[in-house]
Amino acid sequence: MVQVSKNIYWHGYKHWSLRSFHGNELSTHRASTYNSYSVQDKKTVIVDTVWDPFKEEYVEGIGREIGFANVDMVVINHIEPDHGGSLGLLMERLPAGTPIYCTGNCERAIRRYFYNPDWRIVPVKTGDSVNIGEYDLVFVEMRMLHWPDSMMTYVRGAGTVFSNDAFGQHYCTSGYFNDTVDECEIYQEALKYFANILAPFAPLVTKKVAEIEAMGLDIDVIAPSHGVIWRKDAMQIIRKYAEWANEYTDGFVVVTYDCFYRATMQMAEAVARGLEGKGVPYKLYHCAATDMSDLITDMFCASGVVVGSSTINNTVHRTTAALLDEIKGHKLRGKVGAAFGSYGWSGEAPKIVQDSLRDAGFEIVGEPLRALFAPSEADLDICAALGRQVADAVLAPRT
């Protein structure tokens, strides 16, 4: 067993081959883990399980490492199948009547996933606690971070918090702790996780971080349900979340485009020249050839996003439509936006892009730029001027 802290152990599954998560919604270049834990005090507690494709191996491990008869209670911080998927098989093996502690919303979801009226489920609220011997388990609801049922469980006496999805990463390595893996990699994955999963709920993250700080919990170890465990300066990831949740921007601009041939690409490159002329760093992407999850991560960090699409069937390219949907869905905040694109006859795309960015809450710069068929030198100069305008807006002090 991998020891996390005194009397606390890891029992998860390392899913090395995982390359996409939530179906195909999120790329996972560095795979992921499903972390389950045990607290072995006077009472023995299992915290969360693993995704059900791996339930046989996981439950067999619990039997071998702990012994089913020794388990006194189960805590389910979040019933999404990547964490709750093995609960059915686990409960079949545990002594009848073993209680499951979870939020009220989680209880309702467990009843719908498993349809077992005999299970003894104990709903808990923020501040509720259970003594298990030397330690107390203290529950903190994390509603909509990122599901209505989410919570975290703090082990008072061990300074360890099981934070479930919060502070996690889709990151599978031979190491288990943040001081045993590459710091650059862990932060890339923690940021990608935040941008793609938690960004829509950023204001709730801000409130929750303040609430956790106000509770004055003595936190030495943060054990999330994905990726590695924060053990060295564990509070660093809470501080980082507070930063990311507060309209975080990194000073660069994402220029992204889709096109048939090269006309809109040339416009994108001209916008980039305008940014470069003002000394503003940028990242230039062909949207259709770029991993959407990585693009969302970069857009989350960007101070400005400039989107180009040529016009097809009176609208934008399908990848641009998906991109605009992602921008709206992820509620990216505090960013400058602008639009451009080439066209052959009707030319609606740039205005559709600009309207969508405005609706998403972006501060719009300039007019939606259009170039007929292939951009002229004059068109490209106008694109470069748009780049300079975006640069000025990005460099202007934020109010």
From 74-82, 87-95, 264-272, 324-332, give the range in contact with ligand FEO by CB under 6 A: 74-82
- What is the CB-side half-sphere exposure of residue 324 using CA atoms within 13 A? 27
Q: Could you tell me the two tokens for 271?
A: 């916008």
From 79-87, 104-112, 125-133, 292-300, give the range in contact with ligand FEO by CB under 6 A: 79-87
- What is the nearest approach in angstroms of ligand FEO to the Cβ of residue 22? 8
Give long-range contacts, CB 8 A cutoff, 24+ apart: 118-124: 119/91, 124/151
363 DSSP β-pair partners: 336
Give the torsion sign (CA, 183, 184, 185, 186).
Answer: positive
Q: Is 226 a catalytic residue?
A: yes
Residue position matching structure tokens 């699409």: 309
Q: Is 193 a catalytic residue?
A: yes
- What is the nearest approach in angstroms of ligand FEO to the Cβ of residue 101? 18
From 8-16, 80-88, 151-159, 315-323, give the range in contact with ligand FEO by CB under 6 A: 80-88
107 binds ligand FEO (CB under 6 A): no
Give whichever of 109 and 336 is closer to ligand FEO, judged by the CB atom: 109
Give whichever of 49 and 264 is closer to ligand FEO, judged by the CB atom: 49
At position 112, the amino acid (one-letter code) is: R
Phi–psi pair at 308, nearest 5 degrees: -115, 140
82 binds ligand FEO (CB under 6 A): yes
Give the torsion sign (CA, 162, 164, 168, 169).
Answer: positive
User: CA-to-CA distance for 228 and 33, rounded, in angstroms?
Assistant: 8
Count of residues of this chain found to bind ligand FEO when the rule CB under 6 A is applied: 9
Q: Which of 366, 386, 364 is nearest to 375 (CA)?
A: 386
From 3-11, 75-83, 95-103, 340-348, give the range in contact with ligand FEO by CB under 6 A: 75-83
169 binds ligand FEO (CB under 6 A): no
> Which entry of 80, 149, 298, 348 is annotated as an active-site residue?
80
- What is the nearest approach in angstroms of ligand FEO to the Cβ of residue 106? 12
Q: Is 80 a catalytic residue?
A: yes
> Which entry of 171, 193, 241, 285 is annotated as an active-site residue?
193
Task: For the segment 119-158, give every residue that binds ligand FEO (CB under 6 A).
Answer: 146-147
Describe the chain by its helix, strand, coil percentages, rounded to 5: 40, 25, 40
Question: Residue 167: CB partners within 8 Å, gap ≥ 6?
Answer: 190, 222, 224, 230, 237, 238, 241
370 DSSP β-pair partners: 341
User: Given candidates 41, 48, 72, 80, which one binds ligand FEO under the rule CB under 6 A?
Assistant: 80
Q: Is 146 a catalytic residue?
A: yes
Q: Could you tell me the two tokens for 233?
A: 């300066």
Q: Could you tell me the two tokens for 351?
A: 């205005």
Residue window 187-226: x/- pattern of binding to ligand FEO, with contact defined by CB under 6 A: --------------------------------------xx
User: CA-to-CA distance for 184 and 187, rounded, in angstroms?
Assistant: 5
Give whichever of 18 and 323 is closer to ligand FEO, judged by the CB atom: 18
Residues engaged in binding ligand FEO (CB under 6 A): 78, 80, 82-83, 146-147, 165, 225-226
